[in-house]
């Protein structure tokens, strides 16, 4: 191998090593999960440089990791995973990102594609009208300050407690839809104000509401446990903590830039600004981040309630008759304090997952009881025109990646490049020719999210399946998509 790719050492068909000698300051190796065909794009994007930079973080344990949906991000590459020592290591907001707990959930239904097709346009229009979306979108639940504090503390449970969901929904959420260590007091007034009117809103960018059909089953046992069957219609909801989470990140980065100086931390990139996990700055960030994560879980829960009401109206059936049960809700951008075995020893680590998800195996106590026999559901959305996947976590992920895997397709083009290469009207027309109905708040937003702007999620999933860090269960094909 020559040229820029010579920095990478091929371990097998799915893993590429960045040696510790690549640049000064690396405390460990980097490891990228990718196929050979993906590597030139990753190097052109310079995302591999960010993997090497993360390897310089104080207290990093194991390798600096990147999933096959990797692309350039703030500090960490999107698709990056890194674990640090709680006692001696740091926490970095760049390892979580601005959209804290951007995550995805899937609801199963008792409907088939044949049931939905005749009413698909009506259904898409009704959901589009019921769920506020778009840049800065307001119009969700308008909260008063005490209510917001409860949302930040209790997450999805806040919504369920107010009749906006079912207790079973909480069982099917990562962490039960709530991080107990959340500290609403660590959220600034500026961030809190941004959250008062955005609960139950979709936002913009790659966030979506999607109606899919299960078109392939790979693991019948796991699919049955997850309640999935061939030809079944499911609904996906992808959104995070909105303006509140963005402001928490911005506020924390300002604090962390000062903390780097205070604690004498040397970094190759100022965007990796960080503080010791147990420092006042680190503790405050983790408390505020957890509060924003809880807001995101509550946000997805409120949207779920709206969607259930719409389906009941459109199909003139009760929500129970339609099914509409939550399969799972998984977080993408988050840092978690977790126990992991490292070289045969149990250690308490701060695991950063940015554009990556948990992939915990069968038997793990953090896997919801209904799924513990097979493993945690992993939800991997693709672009609007191809597929999404349901995977399952594996024991191999615990050995290789701190129980982590990919979170989506990953961008091939920046949003600016996508808008230069296509028009929103063309995206809508081309998808309609495939039988996919798309609604968006703006033509430019649809252009940014054109299928051509993304990697082929099937190739991404092939890598994580081949590497053994998650396993294919089912493939979903889009019927209708709503974008902000």
Q: What's the full length of the chain, in residues?
A: 484
Give the model's confidence band at 135: pLDDT under 50 very low, under 70 low, under 90 confident, else very high: low
Higher pLDDT, residue 414 or 179: 179
Domains and CATH numbers, the chain: 3-95 (no CATH), 103-412+454-483 (3.90.1860.10)
Q: For tokens 């099914």, what's the residue?
A: 323
- The phi-psi region of residue 227 (left if phi > 0; otherwise alpha if psi is between -120 and 50; otherwise beta) is left
> Which of 116, 85, 109, 80 lies closest to 96 in space, CA to CA?
80
Is residue 219's pLDDT more than 90? yes
Task: Evaluate whether 89 touches 62 at the Cβ level (below 8 Å).
Answer: no
Task: Evaluate whether 347 touches 85 at the Cβ level (below 8 Å).
Answer: yes
Radius of gyration of the chain (CA): 21
Active site residues: 407
pTM: 0.96
Q: Extract the tokens encoding 441.
A: 């708040």
As to burial, measured by CB atoms within 10 angstroms (0-12 exposed, 13-18 middle, 19+ buried), residue 420 is exposed
Query: Can you give the pLDDT at residue 204?
Result: 79
Task: Evaluate whether 50 touches 77 at the Cβ level (below 8 Å).
Answer: yes
Q: Does residue 338 sit in helix, strand or coil? A: strand
Q: How many C-beta atoms lie closer than 10 Å to residue 378's C-beta? A: 30
Query: Can you give the pLDDT at residue 413?
Result: 84
> Which of 114, 123, 104 lies closest to 312 in space, CA to CA?
123
Q: Does residue 471 sit in helix, strand or coil? A: strand
Give the model's confidence band at 1: pLDDT under 50 very low, under 70 low, under 90 confident, else very high: very low
Q: In angstroms, rounded to a whole number, what is the distance separating the alpha carbons of residues 178 and 170?
A: 9
Q: Of 3-17, 140-154, 250-264, 440-454, which one has max mean pLDDT?
A: 250-264
Query: Can you give the pLDDT at residue 2?
Result: 41
Is residue 5's pLDDT more than 70? no
Query: Can you give the pLDDT at residue 444?
Result: 85
Partners of 349 in the beta sheet? 85, 338
């Amino acid at each position: 191998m020559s040229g820029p790719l010579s920095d990478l050492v091929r371990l097998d068909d799915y893993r590429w090593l960045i040696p510790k000698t690549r640049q000064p300051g690396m405390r460990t190796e980097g490891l990228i999960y990718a196929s050979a065909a993906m590597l030139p794009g990753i190097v052109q994007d310079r995302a591999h440089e960010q993997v090497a930079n993360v390897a310089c973080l104080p207290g990093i344990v194991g390798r600096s990791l990147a999933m096959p949906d990797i692309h350039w991000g703030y500090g960490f590459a999107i698709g990056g995973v890194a674990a640090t020592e709680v006692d001696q290591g740091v926490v970095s907001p760049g390892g979580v990102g601005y959209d804290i707990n951007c995550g995805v959930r899937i609801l199963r239904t008792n409907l088939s594609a044949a049931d939905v097709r005749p009413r698909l346009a009506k259904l898409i229009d009704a959901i589009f009208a019921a769920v506020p979306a778009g840049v800065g979108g307001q119009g969700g639940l308008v909260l008063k300050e005490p209510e917001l504090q409860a949302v930040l503390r209790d997450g999805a449970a806040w919504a369920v407690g107010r009749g906006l969901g079912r207790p079973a929904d909480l069982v099917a959420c990562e962490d039960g839809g709530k991080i107990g260590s959340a500290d609403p007091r660590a959220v600034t007034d500026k961030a809190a104000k941004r959250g008062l009117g955005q609960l139950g809103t979709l936002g913009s960018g790659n966030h979506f509401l999607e109606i899919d059909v299960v078109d392939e089953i790979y693991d019948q046992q796991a699919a049955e446990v997850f309640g999935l069957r061939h030809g079944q219609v499911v609904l996906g909801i992808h959104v995070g903590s909105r303006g509140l989470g963005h402001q928490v990140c911005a506020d924390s980065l300002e604090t962390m830039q000062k903390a780097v100086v205070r604690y004498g931390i040397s970094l190759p990139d100022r965007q990796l600004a960080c503080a010791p996990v147990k420092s006042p700055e680190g503790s405050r960030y983790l408390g505020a981040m957890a509060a924003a994560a809880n807001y995101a879980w509550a946000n997805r829960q409120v949207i779920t309630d709206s969607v259930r009401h719409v389906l009941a109206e459109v199909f003139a059936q009760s929500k129970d008759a339609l099914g509409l049960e939550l399969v799972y809700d998984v977080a993408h951008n988050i840092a978690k304090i977790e126990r992991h075995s490292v070289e045969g020893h149990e250690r308490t680590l701060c695991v950063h997952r940015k554009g990556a998800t948990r992939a915990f195996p069968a038997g793990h106590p953090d896997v919801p009881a209904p799924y513990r026999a097979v493993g945690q559901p992993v939800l991997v959305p693709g672009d609007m025109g191809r597929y999404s996947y349901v995977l399952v976590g594996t024991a191999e992920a615990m050995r290789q990646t701190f129980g982590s895997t990919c979170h989506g397709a990953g961008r091939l083009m920046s949003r600016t490049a996508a808008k230069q290469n296509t028009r929103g009207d063309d995206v809508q027309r081309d998808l309609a020719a495939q039988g996919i109905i798309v609604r968006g708040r703006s033509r430019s937003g649809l252009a940014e999210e054109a299928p051509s702007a993304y990697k082929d999620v099937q190739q991404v999933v092939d890598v994580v399946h081949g590497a053994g860090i998650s396993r294919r269960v089912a493939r979903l094909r889009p019927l209708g998509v709503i974008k902000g």
